[in-house]
């Protein structure tokens, strides 16, 4: 059974870089890893997506090592407004079907 695991919580000071790791076993070559951000009383919001090596956009980077058993969301120079819950989503493919699995979420608290 595919499983997506991430730390429950993390604290960081403003201005620091934050790295949140997600573990995903049984991931196939072309299975995508996607990260979402959620604020209280809102739906999750897309941050970044990739399936190999490194992806960077204006808000984050996603690092995926060669074995693809884990991936790391990197948030550069966090601010208080980055305090939120971050979810890793992996869509596992295999045997002609998909299994869409969210991690339990990492609550990031940014401290002034």
Partner 1 sequence: DAGVIQSPRHEVTEMGQEVTLRCKPISGHDYLFWYRQTMMRGLELLIYFNNNVPIDDSGMPEDRFSAKMPNASFSTLKIQPSEPRDSAVYFCASSPPASGLGSNEQFFGPGTRLTVL
81 is a site residue for partner 1 (CB under 8 A) = no
At its nearest, how many Å lie between partner 1 and the CB of residue 61?
A: 16
Binding mask 27-56 for partner 1 (x = CB under 8 A): ---xxx-x-x----xxxxxx--x-------
Residue tagged 């870089």 (tokens): 17
At its nearest, how many Å lie between partner 1 and the CB of residue 43?
A: 3
CA atoms within 13 A on the CB side of 39: 7
Quick one: DSSP state of residue 112? -
Taking the C-alpha atoms of residue 112 and residue 44, their distance in angstroms, rounded to an integer, is: 24
13 is a site residue for partner 1 (CB under 8 A) = no
At its nearest, how many Å lie between partner 1 and the CB of residue 10?
A: 17
- Is the sign of the CA dihedral 61, 65, 67, 72 positive or negative? negative
Nearest CA-CA partner of 4 in 83, 75, 109, 86: 86
Q: Please report, as ranges, the residues that interact with partner 1 according to CB under 8 A.
A: 30-32, 34, 36, 41-46, 49, 87, 89-91, 93, 97-98, 100-105
């Amino acid at each position: 059974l595919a499983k997506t695991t991430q730390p429950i919580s993390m604290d960081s000071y403003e201005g620091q870089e934050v790295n949140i790791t997600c573990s995903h076993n049984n991931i196939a070559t072309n299975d995508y890893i996607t990260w979402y951000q959620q604020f209280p009383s809102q739906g999750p919001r897309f941050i970044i997506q990739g399936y190999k090596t490194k992806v960077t956009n204006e808000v984050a980077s996603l690092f995926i090592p060669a074995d693809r058993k884990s991936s790391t969301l990197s948030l550069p120079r966090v601010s208080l407004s980055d305090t939120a819950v971050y979810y890793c989503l992996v869509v596992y493919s295999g045997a002609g079907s998909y299994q869409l699995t969210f991690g339990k979420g990492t609550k990031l608290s940014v401290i002034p």
